[in-house]
Structure 1
Amino acid sequence: MLIREWMATDVLTVDENTSMMKALHLMKENKIRRLPVMSHGKLVGIISDRDLKEASPSKATTLDVHELYYLLAEIKIKEIMTKNPITIQPDETIERAAVVMLENKVSGLPVVNGKSELVGIVTQSDIFRAFVNITGIYRGGVQFAFSLDDRPGSIKEVADTVREHGGRIVSILSSTDMAVEGTRNVYIRIRNLPQEDLENLEKTLRQKFRVIYMVKDILKTV
């Protein structure tokens, strides 16, 4: 899945000469945690709520309220922003965005096009939405996990068995990262079945394959 399908395109930005006070107000008012910083139409930095908190006077300050407001109004974003922020392009994958965020310990990335123009922003929340979409959890609450031989056709055998018992598959995820050598871990999510049918399916699957677990997710309490 590509970043352009999940990023926010209506991006609120600030000029590099914007005051700390205004940036704080914008973030609070719009319930956002970061703002791309622009100069003459170009992206020059990014400011986060953490940057603003770290630059703000501590609660132990001896400044009175008027001095405090003056200070916040005088400090410019360009003095505390992260310059030359890490960016990503809209036609890169959401998976790569997740890796970039993880490796660089950031929770959001400005998205720029081939002309280095800001076209959006992608955040951890967007990554979560994409992950939930991939898993299909809203469409099926039952997940089976298998340890299957890493060979052609092994997943099809399981899928065929699921369908023979009336199961409707909504997603299949596969990984070798945490699997025993020569196997792969496969996660199959299906639509909910009547309890008796689900029990029969689970029994058959455990007889024919190596089932790691079966979980029935309940979203009503979320």
Structure 2
Amino acid sequence: MAIKSFQGAREKVKKEYNAPLLVEDHMMKSLVTFSPEQSILEVMELFIKHRISGGPVVNDKEELVGIISEADCMKQISESRYFNMPILDKSVERFMTKEVETIPHDTSIFDAASVFYKSNRRRLPVLQKGKLVGQISRKDVVVAALKLSSQNW
């Protein structure tokens, strides 16, 4: 004889998903930024002081105008040696990368992972209404995925 359940029909439980899925929830918000007028020598000193390898270049309206990296500084060092001149106080604007790939703040981390997969970028500046609001890295996306691993995607 079969055992009969006396619980009755169960109500279907709808799972609510409220884990943060957007880039803005996982991005780094406090950044070391540079201005186009800063000297390349000062930038190199700040790289060492803050233990970073690059950073966004913003104008006085907090709009992203470029990225300066150690590789850009290598160009200055190389030119200085070639022309047998000391590193001068040349501006960041001369050496920065002006064409910068960015990502919107309201992009999902899954779409961000796809962008990182398709490009060779390690980090991307995050923009909201044309203004720099943060930066997301490949590592930030991996950490976000680990946090979400207990959730259903």
TM-score, shorter chain, exceeding 0.5: yes
- Match for 1:116: what amino acid? G
Q: Alignment partner for residue 141 of structure 2, among 114, 119, 127?
A: 127
Q: Which moved more, 1:74-83 or 1:93-102?
A: 93-102
Partner Cα separation in structure 2 for residue 5 and residue 79 of structure 1: 34
Pair 171,2 (structure 1): closer, same or farther in 2 beyond 3 Å: closer
Q: CA deviation at 1:4?
A: 0.8
Partner Cα separation in structure 1 for residue 27 and residue 125 of structure 2: 9
Query: What's the TM-score once normalised by structure 1's chain length?
Result: 0.53
Query: Which residue of structure 2 lines up, in the alignment, with residue 14 of structure 1?
Result: 34
Query: Which residue of structure 2 lines up, in the alignment, with residue 56 of structure 1?
Result: 77
Query: Which residue of structure 1 lines up, in the alignment, with residue 6 of structure 2?
Result: none
Query: What's the TM-score once normalised by structure 2's chain length?
Result: 0.73
Over residues 56-98 of structure 1, what are the superposed CA-to-partner deviations in whole Å (9 max), with x where a residue is unaligned?
22897584xxx42xx2x32221112111311111111112222
SS of residue in 2 equivalent to 1:15: coil
The answer for unaligned runs of 5 or more in structure 1 is 136-169, 174-222
Aligned pairs for 1:72-151 (under 5 A) are 73-113=88-128, 115-135=129-149
The answer to which structure has the higher strand fraction is 1
SS of residue in 1 equivalent to 2:101: coil
Partner Cα separation in structure 1 for residue 111 and residue 151 of structure 2: 21
Partner Cα separation in structure 2 for residue 54 and residue 131 of structure 1: 37
The answer for unaligned runs of 5 or more in structure 2 is 1-20
Pair 28,46 (structure 1): closer, same or farther in 2 beyond 3 Å: same
SS of residue in 2 equivalent to 1:11: coil
SS of residue in 1 equivalent to 2:133: strand
Query: Which residue of structure 2 lines up, in the alignment, with residue 46 of structure 1?
Result: 67
Q: Which moved more, 1:124-133 or 1:79-88?
A: 124-133
Matched positions, count: 132
Q: CA deviation at 1:111?
A: 0.7
Query: Which residue of structure 2 lines up, in the alignment, with residue 155 of structure 1?
Result: none
Q: CA deviation at 1:46?
A: 0.9
Larger relative contact order, structure 1 or 2 (CA cutoff 8 Å, min sep 6): 2
Partner Cα separation in structure 1 for residue 81 and residue 68 of structure 2: 24
**Larger Rg over CA atoms:** 1
SS of residue in 2 equivalent to 1:57: helix
- Match for 1:102: what amino acid? Y
Q: CA deviation at 1:171?
A: 5.8
Identity %: 26
